Amino acid sequence: MNFPMLAYYYLSTALPTNRVMVTSALSIEMFGYGFGFVGVILIMMQEIAPGKYQTAHYAFATALMNLGLMIPGSVSGRFSWL
């Protein structure tokens, strides 16, 4: 999860105008986020859902994680005009 932070740090300090550099940094961020997301879900599956209904637990855990992204995103977008 440190690679996405380093990519955004680079973008904020260097302010590159080259689209290839910006696209590369954002690709690193997306890959790092996806890799971390899968890791967290696997840990949740091993700790929370070792029982009979693993698929239902996986769906519930994924829904909770997505809700944790959607609520802050909707609140931050709501006040973007200020």
**What pLDDT digit, counting tens, does each position of 12-68 carry?**
899 888 899 899 888 888 888 888 878 877 887 777 777 788 788 778 877 887 888
User: Using CA atoms, how far apart are residues 35 and 80, in angstroms rounded to an integer?
Assistant: 29
pTM above 0.85, yes or no: no
Outline where 15-82 has alpha helix (H): 19-48, 54-78
Is a pLDDT exceeding 70 seen at residue 75?
yes
